[in-house]
Structure 1
Amino acid sequence: MTTTLVLPLPAVRGRLTAGAPLAPLVWFKAGGAAEWLFEPADVEDLSAFLAALDPAVPVMPLGLGSNLIVRDGGVPGVVVRLGKPFAVVERLDATTLKCGGGASGILVSSTARDAGIGGVEFLRSIPGTVGGFVRMNGGAYGREVKDVLVEAEVVLRSGERVTLSNADLGYTYRHSNLPDGAVVVSATFRGQPAEPAAIQAEMDRIAAAREASQPLRTKTGGSTFRNPPGEKAWALVDAAGCRGLTLGGAQVSEKHTNFLINTGTATSAEIEALGEEVRKRVKSKSGVELEWEIQRVGVTR
């Protein structure tokens, strides 16, 4: 993708890269480049950059890239990726953690375990970062972010720093009211007192269940479709005869049919087209119209 933004862009203390390949940064290992990739040095760096950036330039936050299809034509504007400065988790009191927007679910749950804070073990099973959890109301094994979130610190597209409460985010299933272009820089989670050994046992149970049921050692994007009310997406996909279905280098997982896989050579166009074919077959078989849970961003080639 050619670079079209007018230079100079606002000065930064972090790293700003033109034409940065995104395929290495996402789980599918497919897709185009970011017009610009910005890795801020800290919250102040991010806020100042967004405040000075032309308001017409689109901004997209990127976490671990686990629930994402980056289209082959790349992503216009600026992709913001929070690195190590935002991957800090600290205990505030006996039941509360403040977690950087770039912190992984494994880091959050492990820190909670060491602090004797239960209730956030489910984050161990979600392959992403705190920013994505907050945006999408991430959940697994009967719990969701809305059950533990107190508040989130956010930098809006304008550069303004605001604190949003759980209620402000208007959580529903895999959805929040977080504004477009906003970047979650930290979140405060509250659990309850628990014994570290019991927390570890629950984390181990979740990890084992996930390993047994999901194709974790493949190039995948996590759960592809949202569960319709009263239904399981994987069961509808299976009933429509899509287990193992392929299109080019893309495949419906034979282990878990709500996962798409890049077998090694898939383009993002093939992955997305396979998903649409699955949606078509499920609609024809059951009458249910599956909704994408994986985000699809960027432009087609």
Structure 2
Amino acid sequence: MTFPDITSSLRLLMPGLRGALEANAPMAPLSWFRTGGLAQVLFTPVDEDDLALFMAALPSEVPWMVVGLGSNLLVRDGGLEGVVIRLGKGFGGIEVDGLAVKAGAGVPDVKVARAAAEAGIKGLSFLRGIPGAIGGALRMNGGAYGGETKDVFVSARAVARDGSRVTYDVAAMGFTYRRCAVPTDVVFTEAVFRGVPGDREEILAEMQRITESRSSTQPVNTRTGGSTFKNPPGHSAWKLVDEAGCRGLTIGGAQVSPMHTNFLVNLGNASAADIETLGETVRECVRNQSGIELEWEIKRVGTPA
């Protein structure tokens, strides 16, 4: 479905706005699943100042959300009313200072891992195994291969809903498993991480092992959304899905990956409804088999067709 074009009215409220406002923007290209409906408005801020201006002037009744690389995002087929904020090149910088790495919220996690490795900074290699951007790693305390964002986090900058700038230390972030305690109406713009001294070649070798492990155990070259469900305490989600007999289960154009059962895959023509229905079917099967309620890790947004 298409939405009324509100871009002109937003521009009138925001003199000096430099970023792009696109009406009825397709969201499928921005999601790794490559499916889903339109965003009423897609806003790409030029930099933090541009984002702050927008946030301060955006009417309170207009819904909004932020997307990064779309690696853990499922946009429903009816699309998204309101504004989608996408952090682009203006949030893509990386700076290394001693053992600290400062990165914009739009930087892919793998680039931060690589920058740290090249500088001989140990401890950030796990970011190579997270298919997302720094903003998402902060919001979800992203982790893989024995490491989590909280382990190397120093501080983060953000823009609040009223356009003010906020800084968070590790205590204020309130990291827990796949969550942080920062209000959802705050937009992260950059973060600083710190590692320990290490050997460049050894760190690069560790990253290569992570790359090979992902390629051999996960459907990395498919239209997928990364890990679908969070690991329940004391359990692995993929094992629960496998034990419930869901490996390879297909609904419409969506399939539980035969390679890794905690991944859902768009076989080519899946609708968002196919993928979400498959996920809910898997949750029901696991519930019936083990009594355990799987929690979605993928963020599902928008309305059905």
TM-score clears 0.5:
yes
Question: Secondary structure of 2:246's match?
Answer: coil
Question: Secondary structure of 1:292's match?
Answer: coil
* Pairing 1:151–2:152 present: no
Total equivalences in the alignment = 300
1:3 — aligned with what? 4
Please give the alpha-carbon distance, in whole angstroms, between the structure 2 residues aligned to 1:57 and 1:30. Answer: 24
CA shift, 1:7, in A, is 4.4
* Pairing 1:138–2:142 present: yes
CA shift, 1:169, in A, is 1.3
Question: Secondary structure of 2:255's match?
Answer: strand
Please give the alpha-carbon distance, in whole angstroms, between the structure 2 residues aligned to 1:4 and 1:85. Answer: 25
* Pairing 1:26–2:31 present: yes
2:200 — aligned with what? 196
Taking the TM superposition and a 5 Å limit, the aligned residue runs for 1:154-165 are 154-165=158-169
Give CA-to-partner distance per residue, 1:10-44, whole Å, 9 cap, x none: 24201110111010111000001111111111100
Amino acid at match of 2:59: D
Match for 1:15 among 14, 20, 25? 20
Please give the alpha-carbon distance, in whole angstroms, between the structure 2 residues aligned to 1:7 and 1:217. Answer: 39
Match for 1:71 among 55, 76, 84? 76
Question: Secondary structure of 2:9's match?
Answer: coil
Give CA-to-partner distance per residue, 1:178-208, whole Å, 9 cap, x none: 2123211000001111111011011001111
Please give the alpha-carbon distance, in whole angstroms, between the structure 1 residues aligned to 2:296 and 2:6. Answer: 30
CA shift, 1:4, in A, is 6.2
Amino acid at match of 2:189: V
1:239 — aligned with what? 243
Amino acid at match of 1:26: S
Amino acid at match of 1:102: G
Question: Secondary structure of 2:274's match?
Answer: helix
CA shift, 1:292, in A, is 0.3
1:248 — aligned with what? 252
2:44 — aligned with what? 39
Structure 1 unaligned blocks of 5 or more: none
- Worse-superposed segment, 213-222 or 153-162: 153-162
Taking the TM superposition and a 5 Å limit, the aligned residue runs for 1:109-188 are 109-188=113-192
Normalising by structure 2, report the TM-score: 0.96
Please give the alpha-carbon distance, in whole angstroms, between the structure 2 residues aligned to 1:289 and 1:109. Answer: 33
After TM superposition, the runs of 4+ consecutive aligned structure 1 residues lying more than 4 A away are 4-7
Question: Secondary structure of 1:257's match?
Answer: coil
Taking the TM superposition and a 5 Å limit, the aligned residue runs for 1:216-295 are 216-295=220-299
Match for 1:83 among 75, 79, 88? 88
- Paired residues of 1:59 and 1:157 also in contact (CA < 8 A): no
Please give the alpha-carbon distance, in whole angstroms, between the structure 2 residues aligned to 1:106 and 1:232. Answer: 24
Question: Secondary structure of 1:19's match?
Answer: strand
Give CA-to-partner distance per residue, 1:69-124, whole Å, 9 cap, x none: 001111111111111121111012x2101100100112101111111111000101
CA shift, 1:5, in A, is 4.2
Question: Secondary structure of 2:139's match?
Answer: helix
- Paired residues of 1:150 and 1:165 also in contact (CA < 8 A): yes
Question: Secondary structure of 1:122's match?
Answer: helix
Amino acid at match of 2:190: S
Amino acid at match of 1:106: V
Amino acid at match of 2:116: A
1:106 — aligned with what? 110
Amino acid at match of 2:41: W
- Worse-superposed segment, 227-236 or 78-87: 78-87
CA shift, 1:56, in A, is 2.0
